[in-house]
């Protein structure tokens, strides 16, 4: 690629995290689902619907951390022919028009096979802001890849859970960039969020003042009530399975996606 599109977005994720006052919303969908070439249109319609940034899932044959909804979308995407090279081609095609930040989320094996240096270069060239690789250990990222991500101006949010020890939370906070992804409960994505026990809120209240990175909450957020509770003390929420279920039923058109985002953020406006 003979040009760099890194700064085509109006704001970086770090800008949004630092400067936007209201709770944030990030939406996840799987590249190549429902159809192979839907990525650009979904991105465009999410941008028009007012989400703060988008996480695009790299489909993988054995997505062990994902629940049945995302597993199914990943399987369909692979059957459709989606792969990482094609995803970069799709992101390159609309990079100059795209104003919303994008993070790629997937499994380390896919990126390792592609080549980590090539992956980081292609992310930068296509205007991607960073990556989340849940099965890449913080230690390995810090030792081998942190400098590479910094070279290509990419953030690497890292994941904690309510069961993560205090010592490890502070270690992860030292090496993560962008934000910390707080998984609201143990298990896979797409489950009902256990707000009643509020274990994830205890983590936020205990650590947020001592962490350098803001906290985004994910897993199991499917409606406005969930969103309100998840963002009461965090910077924002990440919605995935609920969005995939929605577009499976109602399609990827602008009206459908605007309705979904409004119903999450503020259905009474």
Full 3-state SS string of the chain: CCCCCHHHCCCCHHHHHHHCCCCEEEEEEECCCCCCCCHHHHHHHHHHHCCCEEEEECCCCCCCCCCHHHHHHHHHHHHHCCCHHHHHHHHHHCCCCCCCCEEEECCHHHHHHHCHHHHHHHHHHCCCCEEECCCCCHHHHHHHHHHHHHHCCCECCEEECCCCCHHHHHHHHHHCCCCEEEECCCCCCCCCCCCCCCHHHHHHHHHHHHCCCCEEEECCCCCHHHHHHHCCCCCEEEECHHHHHHHHHHCCCHHHHHHHHHHHHCCCC
Q: What is the per-residue pLDDT for 233?
A: 87
Per-residue pLDDT of the chain (269 residues; tens, 9 = 90+): 333 444 445 689 999 999 999 999 999 999 999 999 999 999 999 999 999 999 999 998 775 656 788 889 999 999 999 999 999 999 999 888 899 999 999 999 999 999 999 999 999 999 999 999 999 999 999 999 999 999 999 999 999 999 999 999 999 999 999 999 999 865 444 444 444 456 788 888 899 889 999 999 998 899 999 999 999 989 999 999 999 999 999 999 999 999 999 999 998 87
- Topology of domain 6-265 in CATH is TIM Barrel (3.20.20)
Q: What is the per-residue pLDDT for 201?
A: 83
Q: In the chain, what are the domain boundaries?
A: 6-265
Q: What is the per-residue pLDDT for 6?
A: 47
Q: What is the per-residue pLDDT for 186?
A: 56
Catalytic residues: 55, 66
Q: What is the per-residue pLDDT for 219?
A: 87
Q: What is the per-residue pLDDT for 131?
A: 98
Q: What is the per-residue pLDDT for 1?
A: 36
Q: What is the per-residue pLDDT for 10?
A: 60
């Amino acid at each position: 690629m003979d040009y760099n599109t890194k700064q085509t977005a109006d704001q970086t994720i770090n800008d949004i995290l630092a400067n936007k006052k209201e709770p944030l919303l990030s939406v996840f969908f799987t590249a190549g689902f429902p159809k192979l070439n839907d990525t650009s249109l979904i991105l465009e319609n999410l941008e028009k619907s007012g989400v703060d940034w988008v996480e695009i899932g790299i489909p993988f044959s054995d997505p062990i951390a994902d629940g049945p909804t995302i597993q199914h979308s990943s399987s369909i995407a692979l059957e459709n022919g989606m792969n990482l090279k094609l995803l970069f081609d799709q992101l390159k095609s609309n990079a100059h028009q795209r104003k919303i930040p994008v993070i790629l989320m997937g499994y380390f094996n896919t990126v390792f096979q592609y080549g980590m240096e090539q992956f980081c270069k292609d992310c930068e060239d296509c205007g991607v802001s960073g990556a989340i690789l849940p099965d890449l250990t913080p230690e390995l990222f810090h030792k081998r890849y942190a400098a590479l991500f910094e070279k290509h101006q990419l953030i690497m949010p890292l994941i904690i859970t309510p069961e993560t020890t205090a010592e490890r939370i502070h270690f992860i906070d030292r090496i993560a960039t962008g934000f910390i992804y707080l998984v609201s409960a143990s298990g896979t994505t797409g489950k009902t969020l256990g707000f009643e026990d509020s274990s994830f809120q205890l983590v936020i209240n205990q650590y947020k003042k001592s962490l350098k990175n803001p906290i985004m909450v994910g897993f199991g957020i499917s409606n406005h009530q969930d969103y309100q509770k998840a963002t009461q003390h965090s910077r924002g929420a990440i919605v995935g399975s609920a969005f995939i279920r929605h577009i499976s039923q109602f399609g990827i058109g602008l009206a459908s996606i605007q309705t979904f985002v409004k119903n999450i953020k503020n259905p009474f406006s």
